[in-house]
């Protein structure tokens, strides 16, 4: 099983847009990354997002490119607990994509890779995809990272 983690694309400020939808740049970067992910053959079983506007828009762009179903699910908000997701990953066998926020994604990645939430082994970037995969000892490791700077 692979887990694809995405911090939503760049969003407007709360003052500019209380719903915090994606900026034009944010949309463009997510579209570019989604196209690259499509060329790489990514096909997650499902794409889950937090329900916040910026995460929903990012998930929908990815879903359109990858042909995967998209759903809002609880537990992906910025301050949500990561352990329930870690437990889900031990039971799930199909590839999943999560579109969320910091600090949640940093803490989840840290917990999966290092076993504690505060190590922060990945520097997330708006619109980037971090692919985690099982390693030999049934733990998690970084398979690859795809950032908007890597694609055209």
Domain range summary for the chain, segments of one domain joined by +: 2-150
- Outline where 67-103 has alpha helix (H): 83-91
* 50-106 pLDDT tens trace: 999 999 999 999 999 999 999 999 999 999 999 999 999 988 889 999 999 999 999
**Confidence (pTM):** 0.96
Fold of domain 2-150: Rossmann fold (3.40.50)
Nearest to 88 by CA among 102, 74, 100, 78: 74
Nearest to 96 by CA among 115, 76, 111: 76
Question: Which tokens go with 105?
Answer: 């994604």
12 close to 23: Cβ distance less than 8 angstroms: yes
* 3-36 pLDDT tens trace: 999 999 999 999 999 999 999 999 999 999 999 9
112 close to 85: Cβ distance less than 8 angstroms: no
């Amino acid at each position: 099983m692979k887990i694809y983690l995405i911090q939503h694309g760049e969003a407007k400020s709360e003052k500019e847009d209380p719903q915090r939808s994606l900026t034009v740049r944010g949309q463009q970067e997510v579209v570019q990354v989604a196209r690259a992910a499509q060329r790489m053959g990514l096909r997650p079983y499902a794409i889950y997002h937090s329900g916040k506007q910026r995460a929903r828009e990012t998930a929908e762009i990815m879903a359109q490119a990858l042909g995967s179903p998209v759903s809002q699910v609880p537990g992906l908000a910025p301050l949500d607990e990561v352990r329930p997701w870690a437990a889900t990953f031990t039971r799930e066998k199909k590839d999943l994509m999560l579109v969320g926020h910091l600090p949640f994604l940093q803490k989840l990645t840290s917990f999966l890779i290092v076993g504690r939430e505060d190590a922060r082994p990945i520097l997330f970037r708006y619109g980037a995809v971090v692919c985690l995969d099982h390693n030999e000892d049934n733990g998690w490791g970084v398979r690859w990272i795809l950032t908007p700077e890597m694609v055209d």
